[in-house]
Structures are given as C-alpha cells and as structure tokens.
Amino acid sequence: NAGVMQNPRHLVRRRGQEARLRCSPMKGHSHVYWYRQLPEEGLKFMVYLQKENIIDESGMPKERFSAEFPKEGPSILRIQQVVRGDSAAYFCASPYPDTQYFGPGTRLTVL
C-alpha cells in the first residue's frame, strides 16, 4: 500500500448510524482520492481532495456523504444515517506522481 493508511479496516454500523472512515496518504503528500467498491464490482471514484480543499466531488452521492482533508490529520469520509446499500469497501489513494497507490481499504458493513 506504499504507506497509505486507512482505519478502521472493518467497520460495522446499524442502519441510521454514522460512519467515519480515515485515510492518511503517503508521508508528506497532500492529495487523496476516495473510491468505493460495491460487492462484486469495480472501484468507482467518489471524491478528490487536497488539504483543506475539495477538488472534485463529482462521484459523491448528493446526500449523507461528505469528505474533508483538514490541514492537520487524516482525510475523513463521513457517511451519515447509513443504509444497507452503503455496505462496501472504501479505498483511498495517494497519487505518486502518475500512479495512485491505494490503502488497504475499510470494509463497511451496515446491519
């Protein structure tokens, strides 16, 4: 994973709860991408962030999903009021420089 960290690795939530997924890119890097992988599917782009800025959120669902990358600390993907359809693997990636290296992913299960 080339030093891209994600936590937690597994997250279980009940419907209606909030999920917070964290991603720390490679050391010294200030850009992250988030992708979602639904069961038995490929990865789909969600959002691209630079520290303190959202560059492209064209893949983010309009409701309940938000992302941030503060000046200090990891990038956070937040899902409010989770539903069963949010169950998926969420990956973040750190670009270096022409290739995105992915973290190990967070597997979210919504009961």
Of 107, 103, 86, residue with least CA distance to 33: 103
**Residue from the set 48, 65, 69, 90 that interacts with other proteins by CB under 8 A:** 48
Per-position DSSP letters for 20-60, written without gaps between them:
EEEEE-STT--EEEEEEE-TTS-EEEEEEEETTEEEE-TTS
Please pick, from the candidates 84, 105, 108, 110, the single residue that binds other proteins as defined by CB under 8 A.
Answer: 105
Nearer to other proteins (CB atom), residue 63 or residue 98: 98
Per-residue tokens: 52: 């303190």
Using CA atoms, how far apart are residues 2 and 111, in angstroms rounded to an integer? 32
- Smallest separation (angstroms) from other proteins to the CB of 37: 9
Among 22, 59, 76, 87, which residue interacts with other proteins (rule: CB under 8 A)? 59
User: Which lies closer to other proteins via its Cβ, residue 28 or residue 42?
Assistant: 42
Query: CA nearest 77: which of 99, 100, 42, 45?
Result: 45
In the complex, the smallest distance separating the C-beta of residue 77 from other proteins, rounded to whole angstroms, is: 15
By CB under 8 A, name the binding residues for other proteins: 1-2, 33, 35, 41-45, 48, 55-56, 59, 89, 91, 95, 98-105, 107
